[in-house]
Amino acid sequence: MSAPQDHRAPSQDHGAPTFTVVHPGQPGDSPVTPRGVPHKGGPMNPSVDALRAKFGAAIGRASVGWGETTVFIDRAKLLEVCAWLQSDASQSYEYLSDVTAVEYRDHVRPIEVVWHLRSLKYRRFLRLKVELPKDGKTALEVPSVWSVWKGADWLERECYDMFGIKFDGHPDLRRILMWEQYKEGFPLRKDFPMRGRFSRSEQLKQALAANPEARYSMEELSIADAFEDLPTDMRKRLGGGEKTGE
């Protein structure tokens, strides 16, 4: 004989938070792996037309390569464009996956600062680019998008560290891979020598002269007893409560 069934209504915890289930992509769509993607050409991300309708001349040329859309943006409008792409319900680019730069061997060709955006809701990828001429007059500087995507923090610091591009409005723009007192420039620039700007003997001299205890101890990465040897800006940050590694 089968066990009696419990027809009572399931209990509900009225104090528990409720969550909205989000289904990426268009309703009814199923994720598929694209095949036969052409090197050049193909369907353009519909966000490009929406950007041109919204921002007009601030949106430059656009292209499609290997199924990915790249669009060039006026530097002055970059932050406004990013804020709209992130917040507008028809776009929903909620994820910034990378911030980097490209420098070509052509001395005339501008440096390109690059942002990779993803809309999980619509399964879209969009690459934004801003060109910075290497004419010696134009500052290698773009607006920070940290106010739009907090994940831009370390990404912008890495781009600054490697390429020397400044991000105006970043809350704490300093090196992240090289040490803060690194004097040889920006390692991913095309004019950077493969062995560095200093001779091997000078590099060794600087390394031997450095006080490793002025940075971190080997125990729990805590600041050692060489606080007075730290640079002024680092002492100020640590004095304000910042922990090592932040």
pLDDT by residue, tens only, the chain of 246 residues: 555 555 554 545 556 556 555 555 555 567 778 888 889 999 999 999 999 999 999 999 999 999 999 999 999 999 999 999 999 999 999 999 999 999 999 989 999 999 999 999 999 999 999 999 999 899 999 999 999 999 999 999 999 999 999 999 999 999 999 888 788 889 999 988 887 777 878 777 877 776 655 555 444 345 555 666 677 877 787 777 665 444
Indicate whether 75 belongs to any domain. Answer: yes
Domain membership of residue 111 (yes or no) is yes
> Could you tell me the residue range of the domain that residue 81 belongs to?
47-179
In this structure, the dihedral spanned by the alpha carbons of residues 178, 180, 183 and 189, taken in order and rounded to 10 degrees, is 40
Output the pTM of the full model.
0.74
User: Closest Cα partner for 133 from 93, 175, 176, 104?
Assistant: 104
Paired sense of beta strands 141-143 and 166-168, if any: parallel
- The verdict on residue 242 lying in a domain is no
Residue 14 lies in a domain: no
User: Which CATH number characterizes residue 158's domain?
Assistant: 3.30.460.80
pLDDT of residue 163: 97
What's the full length of the chain, in residues? 246
5 belongs to a structural domain? no
pLDDT of residue 22: 52
User: Angle at which helices 78-87 and 47-55 pack, to 10 degrees?
Assistant: 130
Residue 154 is assigned to a structural domain of this protein: yes
Tally the domains of the chain: 1
Indicate whether 193 belongs to any domain. Answer: no
Coil, helix or strand at residue 209: helix
Domain membership flag for residue 131: yes
